[in-house]
Structure 1
Amino acid sequence: METGFRKWIIVITVVLCCLLELIDTSIVNVALTQMMGNLSATQQEVSWVIASYGIANVIVIPMTGFLAEQFGRKNYYLVSVILFTLASMACGQSTNLWELVAFRFIQGIGGGALMATSQAILIDTFPPKQLPLGQALFGMGVIIGPTIGPTLGGYIVENYDWPWIFYVNVPVGILASIFTILFIRDPERIKNAIPKPLREIDWAGVGLLILGVGSMQLVLEQGETEDWFDSTYILSFTALAVIGIVGFIWRELTAKAPIVDLRILTKSRNLAVGAFLSFVLGFGLFASVFVFPIFTQRILGFTAEQTGYLLLPGALASGFMMPIIGRMLQAGVPQKLMIPIGFTIFFFFTFWMAAKISPTAGESDFFWPLIVRGVGLGLIFLPITTMSLAGLQGKDAGQAAGLTGMIRQLGGSFGVAIVGTYLERTIQANRIALLPNISLYNPETAQRIQAFTQGFMAKGFPANQASQQAYAALEGVLMKQVSLITYSQVFTSLGLFFLACLPLILLVKRAKRGEAIDLNAAH
């Protein structure tokens, strides 16, 4: 355990690194249009800038426990910080799209380690009685990072060029590297660990993990772009994902020294439930951050910067809640009580958002719902994390932390993929459903077209051109109404999904008094 100045320097270092990694999962989204123009890329091609980072992330996260033990946690963390920093610089210097995609993949490899290893370092920094506080500080990064990504990205895109979304990582990365060298230390168990000979490493598990989880992430990232299972490309990678995941599960359950020990799921019922709830958390966190900016920018005409600033107070509310929730857990408030409250609050947020969606909605309409979202996510993340890891010790704790981190990341990928597909398909379905109400034989429709036509003629358009413009304007009104209905349905469905998962809390086994989380060996 650390004390005094060293303790808080370590806290600042790892929370900053965690924030950097998670900000980079969403900061790129608002810069894609600018990248398309500067790099002469199509929308389908530029989506690989996001996909490559996510694929690398989700492959590395579950392996961090093994890699930290093999090479030493401090060494592994330092190399990861440096790799992330150098890759960020290289991303900004990229002169073509595929160069950028390659460097984003390398950045994702370094970033995945930052996310998982930061948690373990924080836990080692605090004494056992303050473990919830350490988890709370880690949780601030997890919840705030994806939310402030669009804020920072929007500001940079509005005021600078897209490479600066990567350059901002460099000074923080340099500072984090120096602090890691000077202040972070390995716990005794890792210091004294003997690295495995290369021939004893579970290479089959590594290969199957890369094949299965990497292919699944690729399908989720590229599915909508490629029209899902109408594409041979997506079908092929879906088959590879199934083969890889089934093979990986079989290998890790039977190997003597697996790279990811899945058998820990049978040792703790709370971990098994917590892993699924982590998936739900990732689903809600990333899906809501994904859908809200699309709605405000496409339908309400907000700029990326406006949308980012609108998301910021909710993110700060999550950060404010984390230490409070940590204190509550420390005082003995059971996770089994806090998680349902968090789920219910998130459900309330989605229905409030669905009710606020209208063509006249402004920034003030979304302020309080987003604050409620931040409070709800705060009440979900920390109790799930402490519940999942309570009672596990040594290597088991490290494996469990990496596993839940990977599942949370996959939950986010599923959330974005499903919501994106739902939006596209439901908009078309709602348009077809509303079309019968728009008929030339309907007096109200005829009056609307006539009013549009006269308006365009008053602006100097010839009669035939004004008539065409009137029909186009009517189509615009129709699509705006269709979009408003669809976005409202998305938020409602998201809330119902959270509500449907509430009964899982009944499976949670209440921790025994004094049962602690031992993450001294984690990652």
Structure 2
Amino acid sequence: MSNTTTLNQQDSLVEYGARRVVIVITAILCALLEIVDTTIVNVALNDMKGNLGATLSEIGWVITAYAIGNVIIIPMTSWLSQQFGRRNYFAASVILFTVCSFFCGNATSLWELIVFRFLQGVGGGALLVTSQTIITEVFPMEKRGMAQAIYGLGVIVGPTLGPPLGGYLVETYSWPYIFFVNIPIGIAAAIMTLKFVRSPKYGQKKKASEVDWFGILFLMGAVGCLQFVLEKGQEEDWFSSHIIVICSIISAVMFYFFIWRESVAKNPIVNLRVLRDKNLAIGTILTFILGFGLYGSTFIIPLYLQNILGWTAYQAGLIMVPSAVVTAIMMPIIGMLMQKGVKQQLLISLGFILFFVYSMWGYKIITPDTGFEDFFWMLMLRGFALSMIFIPITTLALSTLTGKSIGEGASFTGMARQLGGSFGVALITTFMTRQTFGYRTDMVSNTVGSSGIFQQRYNGLVAMFTQKGMAINQAKQAAYEAIDGMINKQVAILSYMDVFLYIGMMFLICVPFVLMVKNKNKKVDLSAAMH
């Protein structure tokens, strides 16, 4: 197909007036549904566990199943859109997501909930990828940079909205309502999709015999097992667990066969050759790091506020909202700066440096008594930094691609962001567990009878407890328990500090590599950006 024909097809999808507004609202709502559901469940796990009679390990599958369904479908979304038509595929995904939300809220057993969460993740993966393409194509070419900024709001703000919304629904109503809230939005989105969204004219869809079935099979096995390892690795003590070892081997073997299959298939499900472009390869790595920082910081701060400071899930989630507001305000401004010719490399580098400053700020202020006012400006800086990273990284990754390669390259950045978040949470959890053990071993070694500091603190606590009426034996036991509690809190704080330090260093190290990326002086078609 010629470039002229391609441009004519893209222009035929441009909408104006109220119709464009309706389509944009539909796409953003669908993107928010998918992203919010990634994090909203976290704050409801304890209630689910008690209601369904599950253990903490078992209830974790509610998160894992959704993530596996999500990560499996994302790379195949572009191909599925071509096979069934974008509007039909998008509407079907919205309906699947909505129906599964209803069944999740009405689940009466753990495994029933897990099955429907997996299917909900399959539907949700398409919402994020396809809604971006739809919102881009309804804008004319000269306004697509701003379209990306509008869409980017949902991608950045969504993970932040999940915890406070989930906390509010659980505290005010009950855990099924975190799923029921999707139903009216999903119904409205499905109706608006079928009525207003149009599909581009694709070429002739592949016959069943031409479909890359082996590529699909290998991809599902590779990314599904990898996601399972990342979600359950720490809980199962990594490679000391047979199931983790088996899944790791299956993932590695499947990835090997997937790469081989896609390099020889006539109609590959994923075109790996596009990764030969250096800017795309670097952009994919940077997107992975962005996902690491975005989801890692969204995970670590509420955890600290609840476990160390004793905040509720709703309070811990609510403190992240001002940061999201800053990002929402700044995204259109960053879009305008890029349209005026400011280089993506400079914006990304400045954003990475600011994220480093935010991380060092967190490293410095964390104490057992850190208050709301201490976190406020630090989180505002986080929101400002993220706004300078997201769109520039995506456009930089696609800046030297043309035509069909842009959409193919965008699938890699989407996958990288998703896996970056999964790697981030998995590595942070493992790192904190190991750091906590090491710090505790060092501190406990100082709680011996020969330690003057320990004896002074211990005797003081015994005296305090005896003055409150405890028998001497009870007072001594209570003193040991109090000191043990102090040690646990101190080692936890040291571990949180280390997480902030190393995330910050990771972002700072990337700055020189970003500045070395070449820039090609041409307009970038962002029609497939930010998948």
Specify the TM-score bucket, using the shorter chain as the normaliser: over 0.9
Distance 2:199 2:401 in 1: 20
Amino acid at match of 1:331: K
Match among 154, 158, 161 for residue 145 of structure 1: 158
C-alpha contact 1:23 1:149 (8 A) present in aligned 2: yes
Aligned pairs (5 A) from 1:309-328: 309-328=318-337
C-alpha contact 1:391 1:517 (8 A) present in aligned 2: no
Aligned pairs (5 A) from 1:329-348: 329-348=338-357
Residue of structure 1 equivalent to 2:450: 441
Deviations 1:67-121 (A, max 9, x none): 0000000000000001011111111000111111100000000000001111111
- Corresponding residue pairs, total: 518
**Structure 1, 434-443 or 197-206: larger mean CA deviation:** 434-443
1:220 is the counterpart of 2:230: yes
Distance 2:72 2:402 in 1: 24
Distance 1:110 1:392 in 2: 29
Distance 1:395 1:102 in 2: 35
Residue of structure 1 equivalent to 2:474: 465
3-state SS in 2 of match to 1:263 = helix
Distance 1:469 1:328 in 2: 61
Match among 54, 57, 60 for residue 73 of structure 2: 60
Match among 413, 417, 422 for residue 413 of structure 1: 422
TM-score where L is the length of structure 1? 0.97
Q: 1:411 to 1:355 in 2, by over 3 A?
A: same
1:243 is the counterpart of 2:253: yes
1:195 is the counterpart of 2:194: no
Q: 1:81 to 1:394 in 2, by over 3 A?
A: farther
Residue of structure 2 equivalent to 1:33: 46
- Displacement of 1:513 in angstroms is 3.4
Aligned pairs (5 A) from 1:22-421: 22-187=35-200, 189-190=201-202, 193-266=203-276, 268-421=277-430
Residue of structure 2 equivalent to 1:19: 32
Amino acid at match of 2:381: V
Distance 1:27 1:344 in 2: 30
- Displacement of 1:437 in angstroms is 3.2
RMSD: 1.5
Distance 1:519 1:380 in 2: 17
Match among 424, 437, 440 for residue 428 of structure 1: 437
C-alpha contact 1:391 1:516 (8 A) present in aligned 2: no
Q: Which runs of 4+ in 1 moved over 4 A?
A: none
Distance 1:182 1:509 in 2: 43
Distance 2:524 2:451 in 1: 70
Distance 1:65 1:344 in 2: 34
Structure 2: tracts of 5 or more residues without a match: 1-13
Q: 1:198 to 1:507 in 2, by over 3 A?
A: farther
- Displacement of 1:507 in angstroms is 4.2
Deviations 1:5-47 (A, max 9, x none): 1111111111111111011111111111111111111111111
- Displacement of 1:251 in angstroms is 1.2
Percent same amino acid among aligned pairs? Answer: 48
Amino acid at match of 2:333: I
Amino acid at match of 1:243: V
Amino acid at match of 1:56: G
C-alpha contact 1:394 1:519 (8 A) present in aligned 2: no
1:7 is the counterpart of 2:20: yes
Amino acid at match of 1:103: F
- Displacement of 1:393 in angstroms is 4.2
C-alpha contact 1:342 1:377 (8 A) present in aligned 2: yes
Residue of structure 1 equivalent to 2:3: none
1:514 is the counterpart of 2:526: no
Distance 1:255 1:461 in 2: 77
- Displacement of 1:157 in angstroms is 1.7
